[in-house]
């Protein structure tokens, strides 16, 4: 059996040699995001190397399981675990989005809607640039396709309550592919065989492809978190999230007998997460009202909209000093009516996920700022790569 | 055995490249033909082998010599030249053949390997997340890939698109079971997901990503830091041509809204129109991918039109290549581009 040792992704951390955690965690095996056990591996420097490292890990898993020396494992394509996600966030511009909500509130529909739209065209001026979890997306989309044998689309229930898993998308700004790099096909006909790289370091942020890591957590986990701060504290991924998207089930809001319950679900969940310290002044909270097409056609449409407005107001009041920002979004991932576009509201939500970042806000710390313990991954990435952003104008928040 | 040079007729008809524009630095070109079953890989290779060894039309490449066992390549070229269907590739063929080629326009030679792998290898890589070790090594050391796509691509239809109701005015009459706009309750059983149900564009992207990861992880990456050259080859381009000529208004019922409107003219437009997911991926990774789209009809038409196929004096005159500079039937232009030439 292979010997595993503790080690750390941060260069110079003495934990591998029996010393203390460089970040000061008393219990790094539980709290430090850089802590891992296993064979020592190198610091990941770029997304390609990230994928390579993940592929190597997959290879190890595959050969260990099958004992087939004549085959090589590919990346499994399953949702990423926390370690795999961290390898991405450390090496490239990334956004970690926690999609929260009760069962059947539309979490999976929302995420697969983004994927479905990308299958057809770029979304919110971002083009698809890669994904480590294509099979996972495809499996989730299956139930909304003719090949499922169904007559109407549905989404599979997410069952994993305990472990945080991530679906991955890499998206590139449209301006990057056409202007900054002169278009790949123009480059391909360039007799020098080189690819023009335009722009200064200040343009890097605008042109850089972004990795989107979206959680795939069962609604049951959020029901438990709503009812118990202890269970809320188990959602440790929230400490590393750029954004928390809390879904409000529009179908329930559209029914008078379920409206107030849906309202309570979102407000009590936010209350529990705040009390448990899982969201703080660096969290951007999106309140996402799903299935907006059903609200738009509800008999008490005006009543429902008033409740939605009240949810936004209550959440903003409740969280005003606790989180960075609260935003309300209205989406309809799979609207039944033909006059409502597929993925209504999803483009605007995706753009905010990709472009709004605490890291890029004017108030973000200086180059010499000392990172607090338990600092989120985007801050660590920013510190390591600050030189690239130093000349960039602050991105409007 | 020295293979006679392909005799050329007339002037060099290709766009001039510059010596400095021909990459890679070393003279070894290893192309990996990637594609799902029946995507046209073997037909292309058969036609290419014929053109390189016996072709009489102008081409951008000539052959200096060939080393290795040519049995497989001769067999498929023989069948191709007679207009016969090529049997499904069961095992890798031609893996040991090395073609020593030379550019006509500049004094530069390179050695080319081009193994013919069964499409099932790539289909199974997507489905089972493993591929044979020798394929992994080919992927790791490839300087370019030829991505073969048959125009009859698989695009699964979405239920929400099919079921969307139209309204004349006022509130829509929703399905009785539409308690949510996600559709029927989840206890209704779905047929199990099969990897083969995935859109071809998704599978092809996954395969390219697998090649890139193999190269990143390998110490033997022959192309170094250069982007991977991806020649997208739309095979059976004659079918696309025919669709454009006889069906200018697309069949919306079969292909959905995306196909409405005029059929694209160029291979690049075809990929952007029919495989937007793949097209986005290719153009959004300029640091790691250089790509070009070719439309190729290596057979020259449907196999049941044998009398027409065999009417040409030489089989290479059946070939059609769109999207490449030079002669319209110069299949070597695809190889030339893949090898780093203009």
Instruction: Indicate yes or no: CB of B132 within 8 angstroms of CB of A332.
Output: no
What are the tens digits of pLDDT across the range A139-153?
999 887 877 777 777
Instruction: Indicate yes or no: CB of B199 within 8 angstroms of CB of A152.
Output: no
| This prediction's pTM | 0.77
Cα A132 to Cα A55, A76, A358, A361: the distances in Å are 10, 8, 26, 29
Nearest to A115 by CA among B277, B201, B204, B191: B277
Q: Is the pLDDT of residue A349 over 70?
A: yes
Q: List the single residue in B18, B175, B227 with the smallest CB-CB distance to A195.
A: B227
Indicate which of A108, A139, A304, A336 best probes the interface with B, i.e. most B CBs within 10 Å of its own CB: A336
pLDDT of residue B27: 74
On average, the pLDDT of chain A sits at 75
What are the tens digits of pLDDT across the range B55-88?
777 777 888 888 888 888 899 999 988 887 777 6
Q: What is the DSSP letter of B180?
A: B
Q: List the single residue in A70, A106, A177 with the smallest CB-CB distance to B284.
A: A177
Return the sign of the alpha-carbon dihedral for residues B157, B160, B163, B164. Answer: negative
Determine contact, residues B99/B21, Cβ cutoff 8 Å.
no
pLDDT band of A382, cuts 50, 70, 90:
low
pLDDT of residue B182: 47
Closest Cα of chain B to A343: distance in Å? 11
Instruction: Indicate yes or no: CB of A128 within 8 angstroms of CB of B132.
Output: no
Higher local confidence (pLDDT), B1 or B192? B192
Answer whether the bond into residue B24 is a cis peptide, omega within 30°.
yes
Chain A neighbors of B277, CB-CB under 8 A: 118-120, 128
- Among the residue ranges A375-384, B35-44, B327-336, the one predicted with the least confidence is A375-384
Please state the rounded mean pLDDT for residues A188-217. Answer: 60
pLDDT of residue B13: 20
Chain A neighbors of B190, CB-CB under 8 A: 142-143, 148-150, 154, 156
- Give the chain A residue whose CA is nearest to the CA of B229: A188
pLDDT of residue A381: 56
Q: Is the pLDDT of residue A14 over 80?
A: no
What are the tens digits of pLDDT across the range A259-312?
999 999 999 999 999 999 999 888 899 999 999 999 988 888 999 999 999 999
pLDDT of residue A343: 92
What are the tens digits of pLDDT across the range B132-183?
999 999 999 999 999 999 998 888 877 766 666 544 444 444 444 444 444 4
Closest Cα of chain A to B207: distance in Å? 10
- Give the chain B residue whose CA is nearest to the CA of A156: B186
Please state the rounded mean pLDDT for residues B243-256. Answer: 51
Higher local confidence (pLDDT), B326 or B174? B326
Task: List B residues 221-260 in contact with A (Cβ-Cβ < 8 A).
Answer: 226-227, 229, 258
Higher local confidence (pLDDT), B135 or B308? B135
Percent of chain B with pLDDT over 90: 35
pLDDT of residue B244: 67
Establish if B210 touches chain A: CB-CB under 8 angstroms.
yes
DSSP string of B19-50, one letter each residue = GGG---SSSEEEEEEEE-TTSSHHHHHHHHHH
pLDDT band of B103, cuts 50, 70, 90:
confident
pLDDT of residue B167: 41
Higher local confidence (pLDDT), A204 or B52? B52
What are the tens digits of pLDDT across the range A233-262?
999 999 889 999 999 999 999 999 999 999
Chain A neighbors of B194, CB-CB under 8 A: 147
pLDDT of residue A60: 44
Indicate which of A58, A130, A301, A341 best probes the interface with B, i.e. most B CBs within 10 Å of its own CB: A130
ipTM over 0.85: no
Instruction: Indicate yes or no: CB of A150 within 8 angstroms of CB of B177.
Output: no
Q: Is the pLDDT of residue B302 over 50?
A: yes
DSSP string of A72-95, one letter each residue = EEPP--SPB-HHHHHHHHHHS-EE
């Amino acid at each position: 059996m292979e010997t595993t040792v503790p080690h750390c992704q941060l260069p110079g951390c003495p934990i591998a040699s029996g010393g203390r955690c460089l970040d000061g965690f008393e219990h790094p095996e539980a709290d430090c995001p850089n802590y891992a056990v296993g064979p020592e591996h190198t610091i990941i420097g770029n997304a390609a190397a990230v994928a390579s490292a993940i592929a190597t890990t997959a290879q190890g898993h595959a050969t260990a399981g099958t004992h087939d020396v004549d085959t090589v494992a590919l990346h499994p394509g399953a949702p990423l675990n926390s370690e795999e996600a961290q390898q991405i966030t450390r090496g490239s511009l990334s956004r970690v989005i926690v999609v929260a909500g009760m069962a059947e509130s539309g979490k999976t529909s929302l995420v697969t809607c983004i994927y479905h739209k990308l299958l057809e065209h770029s979304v919110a001026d971002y083009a698809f640039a890669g994904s480590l979890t294509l099979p996972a997306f495809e499996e989730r989309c299956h139930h909304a396709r003719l090949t499922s044998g169904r007559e109407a689309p549905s989404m599979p229930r997410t069952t994993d309550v305990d472990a945080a898993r991530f679906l991955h998308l890499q998206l590139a700004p449209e301006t990057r592919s056409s202007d900054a790099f002169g278009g790949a096909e123009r480059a391909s006909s360039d007799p020098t065989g080189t690819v023009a790289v335009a722009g200064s370091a200040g343009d890097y942020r605008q042109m850089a492809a972004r990795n989107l890591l979206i959680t795939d957590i069962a609604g049951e986990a959020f029901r438990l978190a709503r009812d118990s701060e202890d269970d809320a504290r188990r959602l440790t991924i929230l400490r590393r999230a750029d954004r928390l998207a809390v879904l409000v089930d529009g179908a329930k809001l559209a029914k008078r007998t379920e409206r107030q319950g849906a309202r309570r679900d979102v407000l009590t969940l936010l209350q529990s997460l705040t009390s448990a310290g899982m969201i703080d002044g660096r969290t951007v909270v999106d309140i996402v009202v799903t299935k907006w097409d059903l609200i738009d056609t509800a008999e008490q449409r005006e009543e429902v909209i008033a409740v939605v407005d009240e949810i936004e107001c209550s959440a903003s009041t409740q969280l005003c000093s606790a989180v960075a920002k609260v935003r309300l979004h209205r989406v309809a991932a799979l609207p039944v009516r033909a006059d409502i576009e597929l993925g209504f509201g999803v483009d605007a939500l995706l753009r905010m996920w990709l472009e709004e970042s605490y890291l890029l806000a004017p108030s973000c710390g200086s180059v010499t700022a000392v990172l607090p313990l338990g600092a989120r991954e985007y801050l660590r990435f920013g510190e390591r790569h600050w030189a690239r952003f130093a000349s960039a104008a602050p991105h409007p928040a | 055995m020295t293979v006679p040079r392909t005799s050329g007729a007339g002037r060099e008809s290709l766009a001039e490249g510059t010596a400095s524009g021909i990459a890679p630095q070393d003279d070894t070109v290893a192309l990996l033909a990637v594609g799902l079953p029946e995507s046209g890989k073997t037909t292309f290779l058969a036609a290419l082998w014929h053109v390189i060894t016996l072709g009489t039309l102008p081409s951008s490449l000539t052959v200096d010599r060939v080393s290795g066992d040519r049995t497989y390549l001769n067999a498929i070229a023989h069948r191709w030249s007679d207009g016969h269907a090529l049997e499904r590739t069961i095992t890798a063929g031609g893996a040991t053949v090395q073609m020593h080629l030379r550019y006509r326009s500049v004094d530069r030679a390179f050695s080319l390997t081009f193994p013919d792998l069964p499409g099932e290898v790539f289909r199974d890589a997507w489905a089972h997340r493993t591929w044979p070790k020798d394929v992994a090594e080919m992927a790791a050391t490839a300087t370019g890939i030829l991505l073969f796509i048959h125009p009859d691509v698989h695009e699964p239809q979405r239920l929400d698109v099919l079921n969307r109701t139209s309204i004349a005015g006022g509130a829509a009459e929703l399905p009785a079971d539409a308690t949510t706009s996600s559709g029927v309750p989840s206890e209704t059983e779905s047929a199990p997901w099969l990897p083969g149900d995935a859109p071809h564009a998704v599978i092809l992207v996954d395969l390219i990503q697998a090649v890139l990861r193999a190269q990143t992880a390998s110490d033997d990456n022959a192309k170094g830091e250069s982007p991977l050259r991806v020649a997208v080859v739309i095979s059976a381009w004659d079918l696309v041509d025919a669709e454009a000529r006889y069906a200018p208004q697309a069949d919306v019922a079969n292909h959905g809204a995306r196909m409405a409107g005029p059929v694209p003219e160029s291979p690049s437009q075809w990929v952007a129109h029919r495989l937007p997911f793949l097209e986005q991926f290719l153009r959004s990774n300029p640091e790691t991918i250089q790509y070009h789209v070719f439309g190729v009809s290596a057979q020259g038409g449907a196999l049941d039109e044998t009398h027409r196929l065999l009417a040409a004096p030489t089989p290479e005159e059946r070939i059609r290549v769109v999207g490449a500079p030079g002669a319209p039937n110069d299949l070597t232009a695809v190889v030339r581009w893949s090898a780093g030439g203009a």
